[in-house]
Amino acid sequence: MRALRAPVALTVLATTAALAMGACSAQTTGGGAGSPIVTSFYPIQFATQQVVGGTAEVTVLTRPGAEPHDLELAPQDIGGMTKARLVVYADGFQPAVDEAVGLVDGAKVLDVAGAARLVPASPSEGESADEHDDHAGHSHGADDPHFWLDPSRYAAVAEAISARLSKDDPSKASTYARNTAAFVEKLSQLDDEMRVGLAQCRTTQLVTSHGAFGYLAARYGLHQQGVTGISPEAEPSATALKAVSDLVSSAGVTTIYQETLVEPQFARTVAGSTGAKVATLDPIEGITSATQGSDYFEVMRSNLVTLREGQGCS
Ligand SMILES: [Zn+2]
């Protein structure tokens, strides 16, 4: 299954690319100030909306509730990207977007991965870094993409979006600067709440299913151990499951976290063999009616409540 995926995806992309290019050459308008800003997935959409504050339309390629790592783009998505005022994405997270960006005028693309200061994900228990790289049909590359779960990295991304939009349209620079300052201030308040809330905990070992919380853990003094590694669909080896189970037992971990949008089977396997409970953390890759909160801030605070309970924080 895995071996088949990449060639199939490439064929589809090549076809859609040809369609998009045809559409593009037939219709050379678009991309002006009235065109939408196209964003790749929810955290980038939300940050961009906060920066523009209603002065521009912001669309998103990843539908709410869809697992973003595996995104497939329809021809109209790619057509929309080629006509956008600006495409904002993070390179290395969604292979379909990375490839489609190659069809867009480079002057109308902003990659926020640099601003997010991404670092390589630490391998899961019982797994080497090499195995990690070649997980699953899609790849994150070597870097952990989940920057928005650390409010300080997220703030840096918002500032990069603001700087770019201001350069493209200096007449709105003061509006963007004001909106961005307000957003960054809210992120700073959240950061303070997280730091205080996670300062005194019974255990600092954070056992998660797909390992999206590395930046959050690093920021607040926790140590993440992902059961499946960073790609949500990767299947952990028996060795990896055993290593995580041993850690859970030896470190006095009482709660294992599964994630919304991801099949919780592996978290349950480890919980079942150790007696730990399973709780749900949201990696905030999309907002749906099932999400514990209506936006990034509400879901982060919901995650904080879950973490304080699960880690035994006072
Ligand atoms: Zn993820």
Structure tokens at 58: 């912001």
Residue 12: what pLDDT?
A: 46
Q: Which domain holds residue 78?
A: 2-190
Which residue, of 190, 209, 233, is where some domain finishes?
Answer: 190
Q: Rounded to a whole number, what is the largest CA-CA distance in the chain? A: 64
Q: Which residues pair with 38 in a beta bridge?
A: 59, 87
CA of 271 to the centre of ligand 1 (A): 21
Q: How many residues does the chain have?
A: 314
CA of 143 to the centre of ligand 1 (A): 12
My answer on whether 177 and 287 are in the same domain is no
Sheet hosting strand 223-226, strand order edge to edge: 223-226, 205-208, 255-259, 277-281
**Are residues 9 and 157 located together in one domain of the fold?**
yes
**Which CATH number does the domain housing residue 139 bear?**
3.40.50.1980
Least confident of 125-134, 181-190, 253-262: 125-134
238 CA from centroid of ligand 1 (Å): 22
- How much of the chain, in percent, has pLDDT values that exceed 90? 59
Kindly give the distance from the C-alpha atom of residue 302 to the centroid of ligand 1, in angstroms, as a whole number: 18
Residue ranges with CB less than 5 Å from ion ligand 1? 212
Is 178 in the same domain as 202? no
Do 210 and 270 lie in one domain? The reply is yes
Tell me, yes or no, whether 8 and 136 share the same domain. yes
Nearest to 210 by CA among 271, 163, 146, 156: 146
CA of 289 to the centre of ligand 1 (A): 19
User: Which tens digits make up the pLDDT trace of 143-169?
Assistant: 899 999 999 999 999 999 999 999 999
In the prediction, which pLDDT does 156 show?
Answer: 98
Q: What is the pLDDT of residue 199?
A: 97
**Ligand 1 center to residue 230 CA distance, Å?**
7
Q: How far is the CA of 212 from the centre of ligand 1 (A)?
A: 5
**Which domain-ending residue is among 149, 165, 190?**
190
Tally the domains of the chain: 2
| CA 307 / ligand 1 centre spacing (Å) | 18
Please list the residues that pair with 280 across neighbouring strands: 258
Handedness of CA 56, 80, 116, 284 (dihedral sign): positive
Measure 282 CA to ligand 1 centroid, in angstroms: 10
138 and 36: one domain? yes
**Same domain (yes/no): 55, 176:** yes
Contact criterion met (CB below 8 Å) for 262 and 222: no
| Chosen domain end from 124, 157, 190 | 190
Distance 142 CA to ligand 1 centre (A): 13
Residue 129 pLDDT class (50, 70, 90 cuts): very low
Sheet holding 58-60, edge to edge: 58-60, 37-39, 86-89, 109-111
CA of 146 to the centre of ligand 1 (A): 6
> 227 C-alpha to center of ligand 1: Å?
13
Q: Which of 146, 215, 144, 190 is nearest to 50 (CA)?
A: 190
Tell whether 104 and 37 lie within a shared domain: yes
Question: Tens digit of pLDDT for each residue in 14-65?
Answer: 444 444 444 443 334 457 778 999 999 999 999 999 999 999 999 999 998 8
Highest mean pLDDT among 7-21, 226-240, 290-304: 290-304
Do both 261 and 169 map to the same domain?
A: no
- For ligand 1, the distance from its centroid to the CA atom of residue 285, given in whole angstroms, is 7
Tell me: do 168 and 65 sit in the same domain: yes
Lowest average pLDDT, out of 27-36, 243-252, 272-281, 284-293, goes to 27-36
Q: What is the pLDDT of residue 236?
A: 73
